[in-house]
Amino acid sequence: PRSIWLSRHGESEFNLHGQIGGDANLSARGELYAEKLPALVRESVGDDRPLTVWTSTLKRTIATARYLPGEYNQLQWKALDELDSGVCDCMTYSEIAEQYPEDFAARDEDKYNYRYRGGESYRDVVIRLEPIIMELERSENILIVTHQAVLRCIYAYFMKKTQEESPWMAVPLHTLIKLTPRAYGTEEKRYDAQI
Ligand code: G3H
């Protein structure tokens, strides 16, 4: 049966400082994950199956996918870019809490629907992911390297998680997730790169 592989980008310089959004490079640990990813993918996919790799247009996902075999087709989708945090782009959560306390509280109250000033909500991301989901449904063996908020939305779609819980799910760094849709539901397997 066909499967879908999901991964966050390797740890970025922004992850190290607790900053959100932006277009940072990978940290040293993130680079290590990029180097380990081909072996992790080979372990899960096998040698004989062709794979197509989708990334976002941001540096950290492209860098994470760059050591994957050249035989794999790679495609960059703007629709896979991280949730746009608008005026809060590049800030830390404590800076947001300090500069936009009402927004910070409102987001905590209803994270799915909260839309950053000049940015997006989780609901907005789900809408922009519609073409991706449609393409996924009719494709064979895709590996998606993208961002935590986007992965939460894709994962929630396949694993039938509710709108309330999906924005709060932890998607670990440096872990490859394999989803295999079956008649009775989606099977999941995780591969930890141990970095
Ligand atoms: O960098 C931002 C995260 O991937 C999204 O986190 O929606 O929990 O703030 P959040």
Please give the ipTM for the structure prediction: 0.89
Name residues contacting ligand 1 (CB within 6 A): 20, 83, 147-149, 167
3-state secondary structure of 138: coil
- The CA distances from residue 8 to 101, 125, 126, 153, in Å, are 29, 16, 17, 13
How far is it, in rounded angstroms, from Cα 29 to Cα 70? 23
| Structure letter (DSSP) for residue 176 | E
Bridge partners (DSSP) of residue 187 are 180
Tokens at 12, concatenated: 């970025």
Question: Whose C-alpha lies nearest to ligand 1, atom 2?
Answer: 20
Give pLDDT tens digits along the chain (195 positions).
Answer: 689 999 999 999 999 999 999 999 999 999 999 999 999 999 999 877 889 999 999 999 999 999 999 999 999 999 999 999 999 999 999 999 999 999 999 999 999 999 999 999 999 999 999 999 999 998 989 999 999 999 999 999 999 999 999 999 999 999 999 999 999 999 999 999 999
Angle between helices 130-137 and 148-159 (to 10 degrees): 50
How far is it, in rounded angstroms, from Cα 35 to Cα 16? 19
* Residues 178, 191 contacting (CB under 8 angstroms): yes
Of 14, 20, 103, 120, the one to substitute when testing ligand 1's pocket (max ligand atoms within 8 A of C-beta) is: 20
The number of angstroms, rounded, from the C-alpha of 79 to the middle of its chain's C-alpha atoms is 11
The number of angstroms, rounded, from the C-alpha of 150 to the middle of its chain's C-alpha atoms is 5
The number of angstroms, rounded, from the C-alpha of 178 to the middle of its chain's C-alpha atoms is 13
Q: Residues 99-136: pLDDT tens digits?
A: 999 999 999 999 999 999 999 999 999 999 999 999 99
Using the atom order of ligand 1, give the atom closest to the CA of residue 148: 4
How far is it, in rounded angstroms, from Cα 151 to Cα 71? 25
Of 148, 153, 164, 168, the one to substitute when testing ligand 1's pocket (max ligand atoms within 8 A of C-beta) is: 148
User: Tokens 């009719």 identify what position?
Assistant: 138
